[in-house]
Amino acid sequence: MSWLWLFFALELGSVPESSWVMYESQFVQPSPVLYVQFDGDVRIGEEQAYLFIGGMIRTTVQPQDGSWTFSPSSDQYLFRAGIRVGVAEIGFRHFCTHPVFPYLGAKEIITGERPTVRYEGAYDEIYVRFEGSTGK
């Protein structure tokens, strides 16, 4: 019986496409920030060899004027697909993030201030990953 396991992963990859837009020269994320994340995959095949496709969405919530409004401030998206055989995985990932402005409050309307998140962007990854563990 083993009570100590070692999990490991080695990933080699390339980022063939990357673009980011900053609407200001400086951005400071107020703390704390809450988030909600949903993640899922669909797998086709056997346990040791399968195709997969999946994704994730993460929505962040920031305080405004010292109170929690639970209004989203940005979304992050991840799409992934690939093939896994034993400990080896070959895949593709697309990650992007975008500001979310559900509405402007009275302060923003009166002062003309823009919302706090002023960046967005995306990148793609093509990778080979080896993952495994020790133990039985």
**What's the rounded Cα separation, in Å, for the pair 134 and 136?**
7
Tell me whether residue 62 is in a domain.
Answer: yes
Tell me whether residue 50 is in a domain.
Answer: yes
Please count the structural domains in the chain.
1
Tens-level pLDDT at each residue, the chain (136 residues): 567 667 777 888 888 878 877 666 555 555 677 788 899 999 999 988 999 999 999 888 776 666 666 677 788 999 999 999 999 999 999 999 887 776 666 666 667 665 556 678 899 999 999 988 776 5
Tell me whether residue 77 is in a domain.
Answer: yes
Residues 32-65 have pLDDT tens digits of 777 888 999 999 999 889 999 999 998 887 766 6
Q: Are 83 and 90 in contact (CB under 8 A)?
A: yes
Tell me whether residue 2 is in a domain.
Answer: no
Tell me whether residue 3 is in a domain.
Answer: no
**What's the rounded Cα separation, in Å, for the pair 84 and 90?**
6
> Beta-carbon neighbour count of residue 101 at 10 Å?
14
For residue 34, what pLDDT is reported? 78
β-bridge pairing 34-45 and 67-85: unpaired
Tell me whether residue 7 is in a domain.
Answer: no
For residue 59, what pLDDT is reported? 85
Q: Are 125 and 13 in contact (CB under 8 A)?
A: yes
Range of the domain at 93: 13-133
